[in-house]
Amino acid sequence: MKDYLTLANELIWQRQTSFFTAAFLAAFYFDPVSIFACYGIVVLTEILDQILGARAKAWDGKDPVLGRKLLTAIAINTAVSALAISVFIANIAVQQTTGGQFTSLFFLFSASLFAAMHNSQMISILILRLSIYGITFLFIAFLEVVRYAPPITSPIWLQFFTIVFVLFFIGDISAKFYRGYQERLKQMKLMEEEHNRTKAALEVKSQFLSTVSHELRTPLTSIIGSLELVNNGVLGDIPQNFKPVIEIATKNSRRLANLIDDLLDLQKIEAGEIRFNLQPICANDLAREAVDSISGYASMLGISLEMQSCKDECYIMGDQKRLIQVMNNLLSNALKFSKENGAVKVRVENVASRVRISVEDKGTGIPENAEERVFGKFSQIDSSDVRKVGGTGLGLNITKQIVEHHDARIGYVSALGVGSTFYVEFDRLEDADDTDGISGNVSEVA
């Protein structure tokens, strides 16, 4: 019922334009007083439809008494409106004594088609309106036959049979529109159910992740802390044969913690819960900080780490903490996939109006057309059981999302067995000092 009234209200000007044009045209050729009297009644029913539409909007669909009242009002209004239109058209038919009933029949056909197309939401109301139009069709058909009592071979009978045929056509087309509407309703219901199921699944996922965060991450942190204390000999010497087991336990606990951190990060980014605190950042300083923090890991692996700063100003807008996370991911991957005694080079440079930070390694390289696996979730190029380096396959996916939240770009060039260069590109900030009110992270350009 609400759908019916909403559409009726939406189409008011389309209907009014047709009614007015038809009335104006008819008034020019036939008796204008009776024509405009009918037109007046139609306008009145339109106003009533608007009032009913407003009342239906306010109705919450629960009160059955109000629902029944609205239904009765719609039925009465439809009957009055269809009768006024029918009288208007029948009036033209009566006044037209020569040249057939082309005008009246076409008006009636248009009104019927309009109803068939737009009133499928309430089948009883559609039937009511079409029945009144149907009677009018038959009235016009019989009018000519009664008026002239022609022989069966006369064109007047041809017109009569054509009208009956058109009546069937309108009935058929109404049924088609009605079935189409019901099908759409069914689809919408299915979509709504699907949407509710997805929403429920997402809620379960959030619930699960928050449980993971509190029930797993917190005790895991204390396990790692305790294992490190044991490992470092803080709690006293440990027997030699215990050491490998404790080291394995520490390493695996860290891996588990990394996986949980990645999962939580991903969840937060996808739920839009991460707020990016954008500030002007010197790309040289950013890269330097990341290189310094990972240099211990690099020397442990025996890989040399080199940095080439940008000579000119290279400020970008970014969230310092998140961009350090990006750099850490690119650097740890470059180190992870480097060969022994390899070299990793970080370069900061201006490329046209952008600042590019790239991390180059001479490691395993990436096969062609592997972008989806490199940046996908939980995906790795070598996902076999024999893969040498650990990882979750989430790092670059998170990195990409962080980079894209900065309106920046991430990409790579790579050749198997030769090495890879991953790069991120940001819009260069022309004048970092001009950034009103945010100067917290501005460092002097080296």
Interacting residue ranges for ligand ADP, rule: CB under 6 A = 329, 333-334, 337, 361, 363-364, 366, 374, 380-382, 391-397, 420
Task: CB nearer to ligand ADP: give 362 or 428.
Answer: 362
Task: CB nearer to ligand ADP: give 144 or 361.
Answer: 361
- Residue that the structure tokens 């059955």 belong to: 64
Q: How far is the CB of 390 from ligand ADP (least distance, A)?
A: 7
Report helix, strand or coil for 143: helix
Task: CB nearer to ligand ADP: give 172 or 371.
Answer: 371
Residue nearest to ligand ADP (CB): 391
Query: Within 13 Å and on the Cβ side, how many CA atoms surround 424?
Result: 27
Task: CB nearer to ligand ADP: give 23 or 291.
Answer: 291
Task: CB nearer to ligand ADP: give 69 or 373.
Answer: 373
What is the distance, to the nearest Å, from the Cα of residue 339 to the centroid of all Cα atoms in its chain? 44
What stretch of H or E contains 338? Answer: none
Report helix, strand or coil for 109: helix
Q: How far is the CB of 418 from ligand ADP (least distance, A)?
A: 11
Q: How far is the CB of 70 from ligand ADP (least distance, A)?
A: 58
Q: How far is the CB of 276 from ligand ADP (least distance, A)?
A: 20
What stretch of H or E contains 348? Answer: strand 343-351
Q: How far is the CB of 441 from ligand ADP (least distance, A)?
A: 26
* Nearest CA-CA partner of 55 in 44, 70, 45, 33: 70
Q: How far is the CB of 220 from ligand ADP (least distance, A)?
A: 18
Query: Within 13 Å and on the Cβ side, how many CA atoms surround 5?
Result: 23
Enumerate long-range contacts of 180-187, CB under 8 Å, 24 or more apart: 180/120, 181/120, 181/121, 182/120
Length of the chain equals 446
Task: CB nearer to ligand ADP: give 136 or 329.
Answer: 329
- In whole angstroms, give the CA distance from residue 307 to residue 305: 7
